[in-house]
Chains A and B, each alone.
Chain A
């Protein structure tokens, strides 16, 4: 755009010194104001910039235009300061996708409804059983060929597989636990027991990661789930005479939800963490297979 009101134009020497940065502040201000209005001086300034640099800028621009646009989640993560490639891999983590979250919400919804349908603490049992298993399933799904759309991308990610695993597991655990915590608000108020799923959720996730250093993630998750469900229902049954007792109204007696049981689960978590850190190179080896 040109400015007919201006007949003043910058001297070549002034433009040159501006481009070099060899100019006082007031004159630079003045020139910059003029440049916004004057196409002729902008054009005269252009040769001061290396053409290779401008071509590079244009090529980069074209590449960015042709690249697929990042999804909404990816842009949100980027805005929160997550680095680009991390954001892409995170956004592709199944738990961050709507269909997965919808499944989680649905499952927890049933559990909450069941809690309202029953009487006494034991009506919470389904919720307490289910909530800790969701992050376990999420983590396993994040690392399984066929379920994880970025399986191949993750293999080639410019970071150790272990870092990726930690980042994604944290994301899975975080999102699922937030959803479960919101769902727990809908539970009938029966004291601290409505929060008793928190420790098991962390414990089971870490244990499944530890197991995943020995076997496939899905197998590890299934093992953890089986042991958890069997253990909780079994201990309910043992203390109350028979498996059917677990479905009768009454207080929850399973050891996992007592203070001692929760402490034991914390200890198990720490142990599992040690296993994960000492065997983390197993995740790297997995990648080469």
Chain B
């Protein structure tokens, strides 16, 4: 329900149709998902040209490997998982750290992360805002954007060990806010 822009098919049906080579399905997916993906990526990369390239790469991957969607969870989350990793790839290729660090949310959170995510507003939000930009960037990349330590390191242009130590420093601060 509430599927958009003239195409009556659900996102899942569109992904299935793409597997059969239906380009109109890709068109519909693109018009539904390109806008928010573009905006969300723009919060993580200040260069509009790179963002546009990543969006294009993402839908190219979506078109070529629709079977990668496992059918569980929102199609949007699957698209985001591809998009953020393509962005990481871009940064790796260009060998430069991202320009601006921002935030996001979840693909497949662990139990502890689930606890963090369970609280959308209130103290946790305040705690997140209070974190230093360095710590927050790490929390956002790993917990909220669903990246691995190594991917987060590439995205932020810092060593993987630094990602781990910053995460260790951020956790007590967030835990305190929840108790």
Which A residues lie at the B interface, using CB under 8 A? 1-2, 18-19, 21, 24-30, 32-33, 35-37, 39-40, 42-43, 45-46, 48-49, 53-54, 56-58, 60-61, 64-65, 81
Contact A36 B74, beta carbon cutoff 8 Å: yes
Q: How far is the CA of A37 from the CA of B31 in the complex (A)?
A: 17
Query: Nearest chain A CB to B131's CB is how many angstroms away?
Result: 8
Contact A54 B35, beta carbon cutoff 8 Å: yes
Contact B30 A58, beta carbon cutoff 8 Å: yes
- Write out the residue numbers on chain A whose beta carbons fall within 8 Å of the beta carbon of B121: 26, 30
Determine whether B38 belongs to the interface, using a CB cutoff of 8 Å to chain A. Answer: yes
- Write out the residue numbers on chain A whose beta carbons fall within 8 Å of the beta carbon of B35: 42, 45-46, 48-49, 54
Instruction: Select B56's contact among A33, A42, A45, A64, beta carbons within 8 Å.
Output: A64
Contacts A29-B104, A29-B140; is A42 near B33 (CB within 8 Å)? yes
Q: How far is the CA of A32 from the CA of B32 in the complex (A)?
A: 15
For window 62-110 of B, CB contacts with A under 8 Å fall at 63, 74-77, 80, 93, 95, 102-106
A-B contact pairs, 12 of them (CB 8 A): A1-B76, A25-B129, A26-B126, A32-B103, A39-B2, A42-B4, A42-B35, A45-B36, A49-B35, A58-B30, A61-B30, A65-B60
Q: How far is the CA of A83 from the CA of B90 in the complex (A)?
A: 12
- Write out the residue numbers on chain B whose beta carbons fall within 8 Å of the beta carbon of A53: 38, 52
Contacts A36-B77, A61-B59; is A45 near B39 (CB within 8 Å)? yes
- Write out the residue numbers on chain A whose beta carbons fall within 8 Å of the beta carbon of B55: 57
Interface 1/0 per residue, B104-148 and A, CB below 8 Å: 111000000000010011001110110000001000100010000
- Write out the residue numbers on chain A whose beta carbons fall within 8 Å of the beta carbon of B4: 39, 42-43
Which B residues lie at the A interface, using CB under 8 A? 1-5, 10-12, 23, 26-27, 30-36, 38-40, 42-43, 52, 55-56, 59-60, 63, 74-77, 80, 93, 95, 102-106, 117, 120-121, 124-126, 128-129, 136, 140, 144
The residue on B at minimum CB distance from A51 is: B35
Instruction: Select A25's contact among B11, B75, B128, beta carbons within 8 Å.
Output: B128
Interface of B: prevailing SS: helix
Contact A35 B63, beta carbon cutoff 8 Å: no
Q: How far is the CA of A39 from the CA of B32 in the complex (A)?
A: 8
Query: Nearest chain A CB to B59's CB is how many angstroms away?
Result: 5
Q: How far is the CA of A2 from the CA of B32 in the complex (A)?
A: 12
The residue on B at minimum CB distance from A62 is: B23
Q: How far is the CA of A56 from the CA of B59 in the complex (A)?
A: 13
**Which 3 A-B pairs give the minimum distances between C-beta atoms?**
A26-B125, A33-B105, A46-B35
- Write out the residue numbers on chain A whose beta carbons fall within 8 Å of the beta carbon of B102: 25, 28
- Write out the residue numbers on chain B whose beta carbons fall within 8 Å of the beta carbon of A35: 36, 40, 76
